[in-house]
Structure 1
Amino acid sequence: MSNGSTPPPHRRLRGTLLVVVAAVVVIGVGGWLVWRSPGSGGEPSRAGRPSEGRSPGHISGGTAGPGDGGHGSRGGDAGTGGAHHGLKGKVVVIDPGHNPHNRDHGEKIARQVDIGNAHKECDTTGTSTDDGYAEASFTLDVARRARTLLRAAGAKVVFTQDGDRPYGPCVDERAALGNKAHADAVLSLHADGSGAGNRGFHVILPARVTDGPADTAAIVAPSRRLGERLADRFHAVTGSPRSNYIGEGTGLDVRSDLGGLNLSTVPKVFIECGNMRDPKDAAQLTDARWRQKAARGITEGITDFLTH
């Protein structure tokens, strides 16, 4: 029987357990505070880690547009992704073929310039659709659309002309502008003026020319890679067929008579986006929605070349 001064054994055990639990709680809280403290060597707090689904190199501060991919359509629309900047540090020169004002300066654009293996006109007026939509207007429109997409992908884009010159520039100057910019890729934009029934696009590649001021030896191989990537992506995005009259179904043509290619020292190709004299092709070339697809196909082709 208890004398009242000593608690029963079960009360003593309960008291001991309470003391032990309290000690464990205190030690645990203290350890957690040390783990959270800066410089403790533990795992950083969640606030210091990259967000879910975002790599440490992700650039924030902007909202990507639809289909933004940055590396070609394998992951979306190349060149439309402001956040990815897959072409950062790259220089792309776009050469919109001809000039809307060339027709007013016939004598000046007719003068001959040295293209290495021959002499040719400074420039020409270009072709047009049967209802008067000029090639020079088409090339400027698609070039401006492509510029927007390429800049969104981080590229520096240089134009040889933006409708801001009285005529030209001449074909030798067009080549020189790409060389001076130390471009990673140059694209000269055109549309063809062949006969009705001749359909589709084709990409013109430089032949090996080493004559006078022309020496394409170093750019033939990279230009072919650029042309192949461009043809593949242009076809995939626009749905336009490869030419049925040039290139034997490949959509590729090699030429040695174009000053813009002969005088280039950086990778360069031409693209004839379609035949303005064929009704079916003309219907596409005059459609603003198709021209946006053309710009996207061009952007994807250039992006593929520069990032793979």
Structure 2
Amino acid sequence: MVAVRRATAPLLLAGALLLTGCSDDAPAALSTAPATVVTTASPTSSASPSPSSVTPSSVTPSSSSAPAGKVVVLDPGHNGGNGAHPAEINRAVPAGRGQTKPCNTTGTSTNAGYPEHAFTFDVAQRVGKALADKGIRVVYTRQDDTGVGPCVDRRAAIGNEANADAVVSIHADGSEAAGANGFHVAYSSPPLNAAQGAPSTRLAQTLRDTMRTSGFSAANYIGTNGLSARADLAGLNLSTRPAALVECGNMRNATEAARMTSADGRQQFAAAIAAAIEAYLAS
């Protein structure tokens, strides 16, 4: 998510969070059928773990054709159990640059109720399968869509601990601005370390370029030409590996919502993201 939007539908849970916008840590200033999940790693128990104790899952490469030893961390935004655990999700965690942010948020949804957390998990699984089929080791920051968290600082730590060659967070936006549509790719700026400099910028540009050539339009309401420099996103601030965050589109836009809700549409997003990651790793 980005600063410009907030989801409108509250969760009907006593004392629970409101359904908030996409990314896990938006700037302070400012039911349909479930997703079809392509499983590439064994799911964990449906019990909700503490967001700070989630263990990442990984996919073993099925091919040796990709560059040897490459590791990609995929970070599907939010989680399906977040809304039922407000105390855990609202607690403050480090967010970089001297900031703190809520551990995580619930994410947004389409107007028909298809949730961002289901969309991001499904797309991440599809991306991971495509990469693993090319021999790339894939690590996920969460193993299912029923748990809580992990917190934004832990998501960054998973990428750092994996010594990832690329970390890609997958989200969808929820702007209610009239006519708002299109994807954008966020990156840390100004950079806090070498990995956040040229490597992360190149990753963001490769994602932007490949999304465009795959038929997706750049956002018309945020960023510039599909890129958004951000200093407030914990997952990017705390990363010591090349990292970028893809907002795939606006879930509150009817056309983009229809694409995100369909399995074919999610496969299109996944194919573009996977192709971008492959291109980045090969460059």
TM-score bracket, normalised by the shorter chain, equals 0.7 to 0.9
Aligned match of 1:122: 103
1:191 and 1:171 mapped to 2: Cα distance?
A: 16
Q: Aligned residue for 2:140?
A: 159
Of 213, 220, 224, which residue of structure 2 is paired with 1:244? 220
Q: In structure 1, what is the Cα distance between the partners aligned to 2:222 and 2:109?
A: 19
Give the alignment partner of residue 261 of structure 1, picking from 213, 236, 240.
236
Q: 1:113 aligns with which of 69, 76, 93?
A: 93
The 3-state SS of whatever aligns with 1:266 is coil
Distance 1:295 1:231 in 2: 14
Q: In structure 1, the residue corresponding to 2:187 is in which secondary structure?
A: strand
1:205-239, Cα deviation, whole Å (9 max, x unpaired): 11125xxxxx33442210010111111112222x1
Structure 2: 5+ residue runs without aligned partners?
Answer: 1-61
Deviation at 1:115, TM superposition (A): 1.4
Counterpart in the other structure of 2:160: 179
Matched residue count = 221
Q: Work out whether 1:97 is the aligned partner of 2:74.
A: no
Moved more, 155-164 or 172-181: 155-164
Among all aligned residue pairs of Structure 1 and Structure 2, give the percentage whose two residues are the same amino acid.
49
Provide the rounded CA distance (Å) in 2 between the counterparts of 1:264 and 1:144.
Answer: 22
Once structures 1 and 2 are overlaid, which stretch shifts more, 143-152 or 163-172? 163-172
Which has the bigger relative contact order, CA under 8 A and spacing at least 6? 2
2:232 maps to a residue whose letter is D
Q: What is the CA deviation profile of residues 29-85 of structure 1, one whole-angstrom value per residue up to 9, with x for unaligned ones?
A: xxxxxxxxxxxxxxxxxxxxxxxxxxxxxxxxxxxxxxxxxxxxxxxxxxxxx7672
Computing the radius of gyration from Cα coordinates, the structure with the larger value is 1
The answer to whether residue 206 in structure 2 is matched with residue 216 in structure 1 is no
The answer to whether the 8 A contact 2:127-2:271 is kept is: yes
Structure 2 residue aligned with 1:204 = 186
Q: CA deviation at 1:254?
A: 0.5
Aligned mates of 2:124, 2:64 — CA distance in 1 = 22
Check the 8 A contact 1:203/1:270 in 2, yes or no. Answer: yes
The one-letter code of the counterpart of 1:113 is V
Q: How does 1:282-297 map to 2 (within 5 A)?
A: 282-297=257-272
Of the three residues 248, 251, 255, the one matched with 1:280 is 255
Q: Secondary structure at the match of 2:219?
A: coil
Within 2, Cα distance between the matches of 1:257 and 1:113? 13
Question: Helix, strand or coil: the match of 1:115?
Answer: strand
Alpha-carbon distance, 1:87 to partner = 3.6
Q: So what's the TM-score if we normalise by structure 2?
A: 0.75
Offset at 1:290?
A: 1.4
- Structure-2 residue corresponding to 1:189: 170
- Name the CA distance, whole Å, in 1 between partners of 2:235 and 2:165: 16
1:269-297 CA-partner distances (Å, limit 9, x unpaired): 00000000111111111121111111111
| Length-normalised TM-score, structure 1 | 0.69
Unaligned runs of 5+ in 1: 1-81, 210-214
Preserved CA contact (<8 Å) 2:80 2:145: no
Letter in 2 for 1:234: M
Identify the range of structure 1 (111-120 vs 259-268) with the bigger mean alpha-carbon deviation. 111-120
Q: Distance in 1 between matches of 2:170 and 2:197?
A: 19
